[in-house]
Structure 1
Amino acid sequence: MDMIIHERRDEADGVVSLTLGCARGGELPAWAPGAHVDVHLAEGLVRQYSLCSDPADRTRWRLGVLREPASRGGSEHVFDKLHGGDIVSVGAPRNHFALEPSARYVFVAGGIGITPILPMIAAAEAAGADWTLLYGGRSRSSMAFVEELTRYGDRVRFAPQDEVGLLDLAGLLATPRRDTLVYACGPAPMLDAVDALMAGWSPGSLRVERFTPKVVATGSEAFEVEFASSGVTVTVPPDRSILTVAEEAGIPALWSCREGTCGTCETPLLAGRAEHRDSLLTDEERADQTTLFICVSRAEKGCGRLTLDL
């Protein structure tokens, strides 16, 4: 849908927010904390950004964007080309980082990873849940939405690296807590450290969102894929993805990131066992073997055939 940029605002060093509304007026699609949208920035250039406004406000969406030093073109386009009054095409919200009901939450954010956490905190506060936030960044000046978060008092702990060093994740997570969900978003090293520290927690206690793909094992054997809805069966060689082979066979498939982080190409798995290489599914969802992401997932070793609803 076409959306107009109502406001572009500097939120921190290297971070801007864009407040968007429907170009034709009217209400925007409903969404819940943790959702993100595809923003079409130029021909063939699509990037995903978390919604960080109030889900109850159906007239406006807010996005937070970090200027990446090694940008592949997305953040550079936002910073250099987009201004108030411009029109951009934005997709419908998708959510693979949904806030589940809990009596207690621990939120951990690093840098621009604060964006999906903001509406989660507001929802936890409204629900009367017990929650805390540990929010780190390179420096206080680089940390967005600090002023917005100060209203929550000592529930929020700011940890600029140039003032306090690395986040004290061990002090926060070393002891498992019952009835507690941990939501974390930020740089890969931070998320890997959170994951390792929570090895002794109850299964399902940790939910993460990654902006870059998780490092997974490479290499695979060839396998067959039956596209049940299309009536086509193809062979996926070791050096090609299911998505690529589907495109070559003329089977329409939605995609955006091609690296297992956005969720656009999620496809129901009807038969066979997948080797999940995405950065989205929980351990429980992987074990269910009911869905996969065709841009990165493959057949498990020894499983020569997958049947997909595509």
Structure 2
Amino acid sequence: MTAATETAAARHAPGRWRRRAPIWALTAVLLVVAAFWVYPFVWVLSASVKDQLEVFASGLGLLPDEFVWSNYGRAWTDANFGRYMVNTVIVTAATVVVVVIRCAMAGYVLARYRFLGRRVVMGVLVATLFVPAGYTIIPVVELTQQLGLLNSLTGMVIALSGGGHVAAVLLYLGYFRGIPREIEEAAVIDGAGFLTVFFRVMLPLAGPVTATVVVLTFLTTWNAFFLPLVFTFSRPDLRTLSVGMQAFVGENSVDWPGMAAAATLSLIPIVVLFLVLQRYFFEGIAGAVKS
């Protein structure tokens, strides 16, 4: 390197550091925010392998003096979380399937077809966003009871999947609106009907949005509490994980290590699903917004 090159590099170095300083500062702030955001989850993981006394004695400390893995066994067997996990998987999987098919078809019709009352339907859907969920519990329970499905997993699936799910409908509507009509027209020319066009052409094209709806519906259903609580009053064996957490709350004390272990077990499927579908999740949101 010549003397002139060294001089030029030294002259530009301060400017380069000044340009990068805001980026480093922002990175440091985000790392601090991320630490505060992640800490409660890490604390739950730590509490799940502590005994009852150490949970309170260690305060905000994370490393346990002794790992108590029996908390997970107590949560899985004694608190019946194995059964609750099966119930939650069944209810969540069925609800996700129903919501995806129903909302995708509704979004497709609203995006592609012009019919009388279309704007009214869209207005009603948007208006339901402002209705608190608690107001719908009583009519949903009454209707399910009249159908004879109150104390059953089937009734729970119908109740959880029968809501408006407006966000999912709007995501599909925005995505389908951006797909060229020539694709549908080519399928119709080949003799495809409505259901064939929808299930074999349009729905596969909406894969990113479907992944987004799957994640959102999975999270909502997996963590649902009020409806599963009402549906399992007289059938404790049908409880889901969120309702089963009450098993650790006694009249005079709370089994915090057992509850932390149960919470950790209930979080594992959510984390795995999001890690698998995160790329499609963000692509679906970006595609729907762009449309």
TM over 0.5: no
Q: Which of structures 1 and 2 has the larger relative contact order (alpha carbons within 8 angstroms, sep 6+)?
A: 2
Structure of greater Rg: 2
TM-score with structure 1 setting the length: 0.21
> Quick check: which one's strand share is greater?
1
TM-score with structure 2 setting the length: 0.22
